[in-house]
Amino acid sequence: MPITQWGGSAIKNKKKYNLPPYSVLMSVYDKELPANLNESLESMLMQTYPPEEIVLVCDGKLTCELNIIVKSFESEFDGSFKIIRREKNGGAGSACNDGIKACTCPYIVRMDSDDISLPDRCAKQMMAFALDPKLDMIGTYAEEFDPETGLSIAVRKTPLRQEQIMKYARRRNPFNRQTVAFRRSLAKKVGGYSNLRLCEDYEFAVRMLMGGAKVRNIPEPLVRYRVSEEDMRRRRSFDHTMGFIKVRRLIHSYGFTSFWDMFCPCAVQFALMLLPYGVTKRVYAKLRKK
């Protein structure tokens, strides 16, 4: 049974526009805050065009507080809320692959366990798929906000059209990872997500493009995501920098990028790791505006 008790206009929209059914794919691990997971799940259940199913991958053993939230949603939405439990944490990419196998709908909407989707997000993305049956992957703008105050920080804009996305993808991820929706069959055909611990979403987007995906972005911030000081510091850490470089070397090995497409962003990221935190913070702020 689809989750139809949320979003009263969903049935009307489905009949009028013949919107396709979709699965929501999320993963969570033990470091997530229970309140964030609860808010994220509720934002998907409150969609004006609700999902057919929600697939939640528990990536390793969860805390008692997280398990309480997971079990409460599972019991309330029995049959439409699927839980996949993994004994050990394998990372977001590996968790997503297990989730893709469990999804049954033709389209999958990705969602992070600490973000918030606006009520019309999925309706607008499924509308795009309905209006263009050849479309394979679609993202949106995303709004960064301060988790302490709830105030907006910036809107992360992405290129909109196919040719712009292809060009942008040579150096940076052309999608905000927490906003993407994609065709399940093509995702499986290209091998799903990799087992990379970092930047797996960028590598996945590139393989979708190399697999012939027709893509676009919606110029609206339809997902809100938290950005804290800790997140900013993590972006310039040694581990993050090495992960950043690793994925760009991997994409270069596919023949998707030139040497300079690989080298330039890696050099910038390495420099940001070495520069004082105040400088890197200002650079990231400028990048967000662009």
Asked if 197 contacts 250 with a C-beta cutoff of 8 angstroms, the reply is no
Mean pLDDT confidence for 187-208: 91
- Please determine, for residue 133, whether its predicted confidence score (pLDDT) is greater than 50: yes
- Please determine, for residue 277, whether its predicted confidence score (pLDDT) is greater than 70: no
CATH of domain 10-155+172-227: 3.90.550.10
Return the domain boundaries, the chain: 10-155+172-227, 233-289
- Please tell me the predicted confidence (pLDDT) of residue 232: 67
Match 């935190």 to its residue by tokens: 277
- Please tell me the predicted confidence (pLDDT) of residue 4: 40
> What are the CA-CA distances from residue 192 to residues 96, 127, 137 (Å)?
8, 24, 13
Q: Is the dihedral of CA 61, 63, 68, 74 positive or negative?
A: negative
Average pLDDT, the chain: 87
208-263 pLDDT, tens digit each: 999 999 999 999 999 999 886 666 667 767 888 888 899 999 999 999 999 999 99
High-pLDDT (> 70) share of the chain, %? 87
User: Which phi and psi (to 5°) does residue 163 adopt?
Assistant: -65, -35
Using 50, 70 and 90 to split pLDDT, how confident is the model at 6? very low
Q: What is the largest CA-CA distance in the chain?
A: 56
* Cα separation, 21 vs 26, whole angstroms: 17
- Please tell me the predicted confidence (pLDDT) of residue 254: 95
Radius of gyration over every alpha carbon of the chain, rounded to an integer in angstroms: 19
- Which secondary structure element, helix H or strand E, spans residue 163, and what is its range? helix 162-168
In terms of phi and psi (left: phi > 0; alpha: psi -120 to 50; beta: otherwise), the region of 43 is alpha
- Please determine, for residue 1, whether its predicted confidence score (pLDDT) is greater than 80: no
How many CB atoms sit inside 10 A of residue 2's CB?
A: 15
Mean pLDDT confidence for 269-278: 76
User: Which tokens go with 259?
Assistant: 């040497």
User: Which tokens go with 96?
Assistant: 């997503």
